[in-house]
Amino acid sequence: MRLRPHHLALLLTVALPLAACGANDPGEGAKAGGNAPGASAQVRAAPGLFTPDQIEQAMPSAQPAAAPTTPAPASPNGQPATTPPDPAMIRLQILLDRSSFSPGVIDGLHGENVRQAIAAYREAKGLGTGDAVDAALIQSLATTDAQPVMTEYALTPADVGGPFSPPPAGEDLSVQAAQGTNFSTARERIAERFHMSEELLQALNPSVDFTRAGVAILVPSLIDRPLPQVARIEVDKAEKAVKAYDAAGTLVAFYPATIGSGDNLSPSGSLTVTGVAPEPDYLYDPSRLTFGKGERVTVPAGPNNPVGSVWIDLSRDTYGIHGTPDPSKIGKTASHGCVRLTNWDAEQLAAAVKPGVPVRFV
């Protein structure tokens, strides 16, 4: 792994080899808040799927947040119908995101990542076990953060101006190395900034041209709240989750994660953090892998780099906790042994760890 010189300050004495992580899934080809409402907007977008009030006043069902077991009915053209976002779920996901009990991508949909975040939050806050969405949960989340969950944000020239790179495609990393690892579109950049899916961003702002600066859009109102110093990390392979604890043993953050696969297992037992590399390059070296073939390739840093925007190095060669170019797949696919988080979750965790922090795989 080759890192630019300024990245080495937080590492030990060697560059990080990232060869075991970050390649495509087996079998597969400051990021918070907004500007002041209407701060520099020249154009206000037409109303979208929901108004801010509809989301703010929505109350989640008092049922577990797992995805429905029955498939969505087919649409008239015979394709599976798309499940529409739920305004109450948008609200709940934003509140969980603010609490550092991450639902992953804010998409307004019921799912396993949300269910696990709810269960972890309830246990940590003394609200009992299970994943029920009840009045006690909503009151606890809303009391902690009473700010509105949605805000208006004016697109800036920096948001829409690039540079952009073609989306990653296939397994030939030499193509991505040549074309770059920037966001593919302004819409992708804005969606990641506000921890949301591109589909929800577009649904809330259906008439917006995301290449045009000065347009006011509706987005989640996030809070950039740093974690306290993390004293230990637990990687739960069965739950597909990463848990961060402070020195008192309090669970201070919970993140959905992609962790290994049947063919490429994650480590077991106890490791330690050895360093943090923001914006890492990615070295693909098949001579050090149990998968893949071809030539050594160094993919440059960028948000769509195979290991995302940050790397937390662990004390087993080539293994780490890192970001991802595709946050929508976190917790839903396999990896080549490392631990993937969304870029924003990985960045939050990386800012709160130091070399020597124990990491236990269970």
Written as tens digits, the pLDDT of the chain (362 aa) is 333 333 433 443 333 444 456 554 544 443 444 554 444 445 666 678 999 999 999 987 765 455 444 444 444 444 445 789 999 999 999 999 999 999 999 999 999 999 999 999 999 999 999 999 998 999 999 888 789 999 999 999 999 998 999 988 777 888 889 999 999 999 999 999 999 999 999 999 999 999 999 999 999 999 988 999 999 999 999 999 999 999 999 999 999 999 975 455 667 889 999 999 999 999 888 776 555 566 889 999 999 999 999 999 999 988 999 999 999 999 876 555 689 999 999 999 999 999 999 999 99
Q: Which residues pair with 276 in a beta bridge?
A: 312
- Residue 192 tokens read as 């990641």
Q: Which residues pair with 168 in a beta bridge?
A: none
pLDDT at 137: 94
| Alpha carbon distance 176, 161 (integer Å) | 20
Contacts of 112-119 with CB under 8 Å at 24 or more apart are 112/66, 112/67, 112/256, 112/331, 112/332, 113/256, 113/330, 113/331, 114/65, 114/89, 115/64, 115/65, 115/66, 116/239, 116/240, 116/241, 116/254, 116/256, 117/254, 117/256, 118/64, 118/65, 118/92
Buried b (16+ CB within 10 A) or exposed e, 188-224: bbbbbbbbbbbbbbbbbbeebebeebebbbbbbbbee
Contacts of 34-39 with CB under 8 Å at 24 or more apart are 34/151, 34/152, 34/153, 34/194, 34/219, 34/221, 34/222, 35/153, 35/154, 35/156, 37/151, 37/152, 37/216, 38/152, 38/154, 38/216, 39/154
Q: Which residues pair with 235 in a beta bridge?
A: 242, 361
Buried b (16+ CB within 10 A) or exposed e, 15-45: bbbbbbbbbbbeeeeebbebeeeeeebeeeb
| Alpha carbon distance 342, 292 (integer Å) | 24
Contact (CB, 8 A) for 198 and 183: no
Q: What angle do CA 278, 347, 256 make, to 5 degrees?
A: 135
- DSSP-derived secondary structure letter, 320: E
Whats the size of the chain, residue-wise? Answer: 362
pLDDT at 331: 82
